[in-house]
């Protein structure tokens, strides 16, 4: 029996949409399991630490980190509280805006990212890149960048949250 399409989408679009929805639910969950088991952090937390590690000055305004991670300011603030207790991050006033606070990655936080990254990348390789040809990786990059621009913090999310 052929699955029914989603109203407003043709059969090909319905299949693609359901596949995308399943991937966006299950891939983060798989990454969460590995990171939680191995490092005691979530995929969301790893993403925030990695963003700080990749930033040239190893710091970001907390509100910008929240925007980048698609988390609320209170959620990020609570996470930064936990990171401070672990010695991974410190808060500092933003030198360009005294009203803003920056999260600054410490040497211990950088070590945490360095320790967590190899297994995280190995799982990403196993779950995503080993499943695709190099041509498909290029297509994936093109597709995900387009969807991110449309739906991300400067796209639909920004216009619908005001």
CA gap 117, 113 in Å, rounded: 6
Q: What is the pLDDT of residue 121?
A: 97
CATH fold, domain 39-129, is Arc Repressor Mutant, subunit A (1.10.10)
DSSP string of 33-82? HHHHHHHS--HHHHHHHHHHHHSTTSEEEHHHHHHHHT--HHHHHHHHHH
Q: What is the pLDDT of residue 7?
A: 85
- Dihedrals φ, ψ of 89, to 5°? -140, 150
Residue numbers of the chain with a pLDDT score lower than 70: 1-4, 156-162
Q: What is the pLDDT of residue 159?
A: 53
Determine the 3-state secondary structure of 118 from DSSP.
Answer: helix
Q: What is the pLDDT of residues 2-28, one digit of tens each?
A: 556 778 889 999 999 999 999 999 999
Determine the 3-state secondary structure of 90 from DSSP.
Answer: strand
Determine the 3-state secondary structure of 89 from DSSP.
Answer: strand
Determine the 3-state secondary structure of 5 from DSSP.
Answer: coil
- The reported pTM is 0.85
Domain boundary assignment for the chain: 39-129, 132-162
Whether 3 contacts 14, CB under 8 Å: yes
Whether 66 contacts 74, CB under 8 Å: no
Q: Please report, for residues 6, 10, 58, 122, the alpha-carbon distance to residue 14 in angstroms, rounded to integers and kept in the order given.
A: 6, 6, 42, 31
Closest C-alpha among 146, 80, 49 to residue 72: 80
How far apart, in Å, do the first and last CA atoms of the chain sit?
44
């Amino acid at each position: 029996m052929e699955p029914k399409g989603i109203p407003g989408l043709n059969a090909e679009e319905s299949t693609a949409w359901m596949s995308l929805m399943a991937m966006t639910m299950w891939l983060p969950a798989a990454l969460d399991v590995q990171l939680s088991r191995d490092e005691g952090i979530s995929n969301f937390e790893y993403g925030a630490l990695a963003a700080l590690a990749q930033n040239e000055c190893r710091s970001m305004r907390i509100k910008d980190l929240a925007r980048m991670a698609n988390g609320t300011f209170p959620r990020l603030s609570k996470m930064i509280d936990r990171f401070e207790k672990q010695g991974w991050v410190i808060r500092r006033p933003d030198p360009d805006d005294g009203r803003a606070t920056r999260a600054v990655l410490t040497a211990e936080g950088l070590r945490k990212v360095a320790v967590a990254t190899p297994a995280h990348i190995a799982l990403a390789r196993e779950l995503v890149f080993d499943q695709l040809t190099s041509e498909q990786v290029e297509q994936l990059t093109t597709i995900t960048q387009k969807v991110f621009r449309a739906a991300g913090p400067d796209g639909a999310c920004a216009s619908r949250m005001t």
